[in-house]
Structure 1
Amino acid sequence: MANSEPSARVRSGVFLVGPAVAAGCLMAILWPLFALGDTPTILPVLVVGVAWTGQLWYVNYAVGAKSTLGRLGLANALTILRGALYAVVAGFVVVPAGTALAWVPAACYGAGVLVDRLDGAVARTVGRETELGRRLDMAFDTFGFAAAPLVAVLWGLLPAYYLVLSAARYVFVAAVGLHRRRGGQVHPLPDSDLGKYLAGGQMAFVTVALAPPAPTGLVHAVAPVVLAPSLAVFARDYLYATGRLGAED
């Protein structure tokens, strides 16, 4: 009886080639859009392709190529769409402020935020909350919090220190990993939705900051007030994860 499982070679092919093909299709779709702007077309489109390929490769690596060969599901398809929207935002890091396409980052990031709310609801409704979906959601959230604030800072729409938010997740994961490698026990985080609510607020604030009509002076004034609670939650989670806070005797 023939083995119904895909061979290792097939799995490796999907692992390596699939994300690159998906990114190539996205680049082909975006080419006419960037051609409408006042910047060279090739560079931002290449950044978009590299950004999306990197996101999909990371998720494939983290979950395992074999795990991604099953049915994708509507919820995960929506999450991947969100990653594509965030990749488009990343393409604008090489586009100067004042471009005729200045509305695109806010539109794409804002649409990604709406899809973020939708994909979770779909997963819960159909009962298909999977490890792949969790990894996709975390990867794209983290990437979006890097790409969108970076564009806003480069365009002068947010203060430079706001990039601390972009680095916070990476610093948290690295610090907890270092604690584990040193022999420390990693404790579960507190059961709280506060981080989710603050992340939603951050997404909304960055979307507004990117929008061309937003008053930049007011955005800069409000930025530290919006940023501080999220950084405090990252610090709290680190203390919980390393047992310095809330550990039971």
Structure 2
Amino acid sequence: MTGGADSPGYSSPTTIRRRSVAAVVVGLVGSVALVAVGSYWSAQATGRFLVGVGVMLAVEVLIVRRTIEVTHRRAGPQRLTLATVVTIHRGVVLAVLAGVLALENPTGTLVWAPGVLFALAASLDAVDGAVARATDAVTELGDRLDVELDALTVLAGATAAVVAGSAPIAFLAVGLARYCFVVGTWLRRRRGLPVAPLPPSQGRRLLGAAAMVAICLALLPVPGPRPSWYLTTAVMVPFLLNFGRDWLAVSRYPS
């Protein structure tokens, strides 16, 4: 990407951070209002909901800030595009999901909320990409935030599925795989070892989509814990094998 700090359409990291946080806060207020309207929660339940939202939001703000700073250092000034705002609002949906998951034994229509919110967060992954292409506004910042929100979405969903008993505890490895991969490559660079570029793979995208579908079903009341347990296990095995293959590729094995 080219263009100096004063190029039209580009913003400083501070400006982007402020706008990004503002977008998250505005979207969060609206989302929390929609979830809370018509719900007759006790003060204790409301407190748990807000704690879950607050913890996830704090994590996301740190991710957004860090991603903006890293992108600015490596790729220069960036635009805050409509597609990037859509990506950020995926984090808003995840924050509301965290709040709902913090509730104990939700009843009524709320039992559908985790699966529906996860499906919405996962669906927005396709929306932000389509918006970026339609508006000719693909940026390095948008790409990096998209990857970070993808990883956080899978981690949150996998954790929720395991806690609900709809996935084996080993399924947590699906949510942690990307973070382990990043830490592993960072450690190799610190040790002066080679890290090869990750080769393109259509299978990687298909397995990611399969993991999203399996998690979504695991968070819904149907098909139920037992079928979901088998489904998440069936998806987990090829997903982790593919990550292992990717690790061998970037580690240049066999040498």
Same fold (TM over 0.5): yes
Q: Shorter-chain TM-score category?
A: 0.7 to 0.9
* Whole-angstrom CA distance in 1 between matches of 2:235 and 2:15: 44
Residue equivalent to 1:52: 57
8 Å CA contact 1:15, 1:65 repeated in 2 = no
Give 1:186-201 correspondences, 5 Å limit. 186-201=195-210
* Whole-angstrom CA distance in 2 between matches of 1:164 and 1:65: 26
Match 2:151 to one of 137, 142, 148:
142
8 Å CA contact 2:31, 2:96 repeated in 1 = no
Residue equivalent to 2:100: 92
List per-residue Cα deviations over 1:41-79 (Å, max 9, x = no partner): 022223213312322332222232995986422211211
In structure 2, the gaps of 5 or more residues are none
Residue equivalent to 2:88: 80
List per-residue Cα deviations over 1:16-45 (Å, max 9, x = no partner): 796278347615741573453465202222
Deviation at residue 232 of structure 1 after TM alignment? 0.9
Q: CA 1:161 to 1:16, structure 2 compared with 1: closer, same or farther past 3 Å? A: same
Match 2:181 to one of 172, 182, 186:
172
Residue equivalent to 2:66: 61
Runs of 4+ in 1 over 3 A off after TM superposition: 10-18, 20-25, 34-39, 65-71, 97-100
* Whole-angstrom CA distance in 2 between matches of 1:26 and 1:178: 36
Residue equivalent to 1:225: 234
List per-residue Cα deviations over 1:147-190 (Å, max 9, x = no partner): 11222222222222211111111111111111111111110111
Quick check: 1:130 aligned with 2:139? yes
Output the TM-score relative to the length of structure 2: 0.81
In structure 1, the gaps of 5 or more residues are none
8 Å CA contact 2:78, 2:141 repeated in 1 = no
Residue equivalent to 2:40: 36
Match 1:102 to one of 87, 102, 111:
111
Specify the code of the residue in structure 2 equivalent to 1:77.
V
Between the two proteins, what is the percent identity of the paired residues? 30
Residue equivalent to 2:163: 154
* Whole-angstrom CA distance in 2 between matches of 1:206 and 1:190: 26
Output the TM-score relative to the length of structure 1: 0.83
8 Å CA contact 1:142, 1:169 repeated in 2 = yes
